[in-house]
Amino acid sequence: MNTDLQQLVNEKARRWLEGSYDEATKQQVKYLMEHDPKELTESFYKDLEFGTGGLRGIMGVGTNRMNIYTVGMATQGLANYLKKCFAGETIKVAIGHDCRNNSRLFAEHVADIFASNGFKVYLFDDLRPTPELSFAIRELKCHSGVVVTASHNPKEYNGYKAYWNDGAQVTPPHDKNIIEEVGKITSVDQILCGKNKENIEILGEAFDDIYLNRVKGLSLSPESVKKFHDMKIVYTPVHGTGVRLVPESLRRYGFTNVISVPEQSVVSGDFPTVESPNPEERTTMKMAIDLAAREGAELIIATDPDADRIGVALRTEEGEYVLLNGNQTLVLIGSYMLTRWSQLGKLDGKQFVIKTIVTSEMFRAVADAFGVKCYDCLTGFKYIAKIIRENEGKTRYIGGGEESFGFLAGDFVRDKDAVSACSLAAEAAAWAKDTMGLTLYGWLKQLYVKYGFYKEGLVSVVRKGKEGAEEIQKMMVDYRANPPKAILGSPVVKINDFLTLETTDTKTGVKTLIAQDKSNVLQFFTEDGTKVSVRPSGTEPKIKFYFGVCAPLCCVERFEEVNAQLDAKIEALKKDMNLI
């Protein structure tokens, strides 16, 4: 380690030994200084950044760790910004948290700080799904809200997400303005705490009823559920916040045979049964799949620790279980909702759906077939929420989502919601059995026949450190300076650049404006219908390549053959772009 960095680290650590920090924290800092210089450096070499989505980091002592002091400084900065925006008003905030170690401690500290700033605070009595926090902000007419969660990150992590008065995560200009205010909090002595405890109101199960009743209001096929109420459904909360509300929501929909994975229904921030609490990974879903195989269940559903992402596995005709990706889950639940809205006579041209720019184009094809407008937006549910907000009072939002396992039905929540998504996935399965005699997997194949077989792939290229960040930046510069003229032999016919907000028709050279927020994302569309999106991560040292391919599927019997062809094409695309 260079001398300047070592000096900086030691100076910052000494300030923690001398400042207004609790004794246990000081002892831990002292231990690191004497016995673990590497961890000391990691803990103090920089300040944990409050980004556009809030905080996320490893828990521990230090300026670069999640602890009550870094959480407190972020909260005081947010409080100061709220006082600027809503001067003269009684500011109201809602606070929720997930199952992670220290989440309750952090949430109570956040509540204390907001109350000490004179705010009215609604704090959930225990862990709750993130979407319920979003709902609470809207239902209780709050100005802001915070959820303490690190989503599906490893157990060492925790996080802090800030929400605005529409129940969505903060978007421009508030995100940057909050970051600026947080940056002005340079000492823990600036944090107000220990006052106005009477300003804190606890939310309990009575509030859950209000939320669950709204989720129940999304139901579209109660008759089908009644016929197949005993359909076997295996559910796992992966030790997280869905443990009570997801089974209860399914029960209210009418399902009577929901089998929870017992080992993973134990609430624990240590996530003892999985390496990663991420329902995208088959290893995380293994216990649920094994239980489903023993029980002969038709449907497996899972939620991540804060119950905003949904994982789905479906039984095939051979009795195997296929884990869906986020695109397939969106297409299935979205197609179900559009079909039922149409059958119930609820479509009149004043409805819309939303997907992100890196999500499957199949959802657009389905929406087009029903005459429903499909909006594209940047990656992140706050952008989906923004489009919902812009259309309020004009047109009605049905549903939408993103490839990273997030789906939202209805507009009473403004973040992805796995509680409602699980209930609608189960209802779709009952409806498919009732009206077509099909499993959901069988219906998905029929959708491929009807709309085209769309398939997606993803490659994440990791480049760590300062040099890695520069290399990622250079890749984007090079793609802009010398965009590919063809990909896997098919000419590139259109390029979307979300940094310049221009679409280029490569045949004519004509440029048109993209009505979107700016982001460092490039997309290449080829003559044969292939889509390649290139996007550096905003939070990690990686650049992501999203591949979308499609082909006609003449009949279900050719599913495996075309599936294999599309898989091979995605692998060939990766090679063509020198990614493998």
pTM of the model: 0.95
Span between the terminal Cα atoms of the chain, in Å: 34
Please report the pLDDT score of residue 3 as a whole number.
Answer: 79
- Residues (pLDDT < 50) of the chain are none
pLDDT tens, 207-265? 999 999 999 999 999 999 999 999 999 999 999 999 999 999 999 999 999 999 999 99
Per-residue pLDDT tens over the stretch 478-513: 999 999 999 999 999 999 999 999 999 999 999 999
Say which amino acid occupies 445.
Answer: K
State the alpha helices, DSSP H only, in 482-539.
none
- Determine the pLDDT at residue 338: 98
pLDDT at 1: 56
Dist. CA 208–CA 211, nearest whole Å: 5
Q: What is the pLDDT of residue 539?
A: 62
How far apart, in Å, are the Cα atoms of 61 and each of 27, 46, 323, 436? Answer: 10, 13, 39, 58
The structure tokens listed for 229 are: 């109420």
Task: Write down the catalytic residue from 134, 151, 260, 533.
Answer: 151
- In terms of DSSP H, where are the helices of 392-510? 418-436, 440-451, 465-481
pLDDT of residue 396: 98
Query: Catalytic site residue 151?
Result: yes
46-203 and 211-451 agree in CATH topology: yes
Question: Domains of the chain: which residue ranges?
Answer: 46-203, 211-451, 453-576
Q: Provide CATH code, domain 46-203.
A: 3.40.120.10
Domain 211-451 class in CATH: alpha beta
Query: Which residues, 6+ apart, have CB-to-CB distance to 509 below 8 Å?
Result: none
pLDDT at residue number 490:
96
Strands (E), 297-372: 299-303, 310-315, 321-323, 351-356
**What is residue 470's predicted lDDT score, i.e. its pLDDT?**
84
Q: What is the pLDDT of residue 466?
A: 73
Angle between helix 23-35 and 3-18 (nearest 10)? 150
Domain 453-576 has CATH 2.60.40: no
CA dihedral 126, 129, 130, 135 (to 10 degrees): -90
